Amino acid sequence: MTTFGEINEPSSRTAWEDWDEVLFTENYIDLRLEKEVEVPKQIDTLIILEGKYLFDCVRAHNELELVNASPEVNLRLFKTKKLNNYVCMIRDYNLILSSEIVEMLKKYINVSTDVIGVLTKPLVEYQVSELVTHDYVIRSLSASKPTRDLDKTFPHLEQPNIISGVSAGVLCWREVNDKPAMVVVCYIEHPEEVQIQELNNLLEKFKVIPHVEKTHRDNLLNSNLYI
């Protein structure tokens, strides 16, 4: 019997291997997309949107056509109606499954000319020496090969700040394959109260949402609006 906070380490390598097998079994999910649909030969831009803020920004509009989904990780894959762009929306997923999710999307990632990830994080997680006086801060990380002109550049994410999850995995995969990719990170304090014009403009450019003056996001009084 153990007490709270006590750590009992196994005494042999066999025990460690047994533990690894149990942990793998508990976390393993055979992820797959619901439908067997043909992957296009070429996608102009694949946009990955992570978090409830972005989900709420997009869900009220009909600019997207549903292509596929993976309910186990709250993932939906869309095609924009006006451009040859695809949009992957994901929220409230287990970060441990990030690699499996990237693997599931790899065919779409590989045929995309550009990949752009957008994710939101709590403002309190933004680590910087000076005082933050704004309701939100936007930063970016890019692969060595730059994406095409976005009409807007965002400051580089400073150390020691890091990103994790699907967008981070996709960025790494594109870097390894010498393909362009970028992740835009938005640190936000009160997502239920703020309209982030820069993100709206980005989504509008790729025809994910209509003109920003017409956008509307439900005012969800919910403090847990982050992945």
Question: Per-domain residue ranges for the chain?
Answer: 46-214
Q: Which amino acid is at 128?
A: V
Amino acid at 114: D
Confidence of residue 193 (pLDDT cuts 50, 70, 90): low
The percentage of the chain sitting over the pLDDT mark of 70, rounded to a whole number, equals 77
CATH superfamily of 46-214: PAC-like subunit (3.40.50.10900)
What does the pLDDT read at residue 20? 54
In this model, does residue 133 exceed pLDDT 90?
no
Does the pLDDT of residue 220 top 50, yes or no? no
> Global pTM?
0.80
Closest by CA position to 199, among listed 41, 6, 59, 57 = 57
Strand pairing category for 85-90 and 43-50: parallel
Most confident of 50-54, 58-62, 88-92, 207-211: 88-92
Q: DSSP readout, 146-159? A: PPSP-S---PBPPT
Is residue 184 a contact partner of residue 137, using CB atoms and an 8 Å limit? no
Q: Which helix (H) or strand (E) holds 175?
A: helix 166-176
Residues 134 and 131: their CA atoms lie apart, in Å, by: 9
**Separation between Cα atoms, residue 163 and residue 169, nearest integer Å:** 9
5 versus 110: the higher-pLDDT residue is 110
Question: Cα dihedral sign for 211, 212, 213, 214?
Answer: positive
pLDDT digits (tens, 9 = 90+) for 13-33: 555 555 555 555 555 677 899
pLDDT digits (tens, 9 = 90+) for 96-130: 999 999 999 999 999 999 999 999 999 999 998 88
Least-confidence region, from 81-90, 117-126, 177-186, 189-198: 189-198
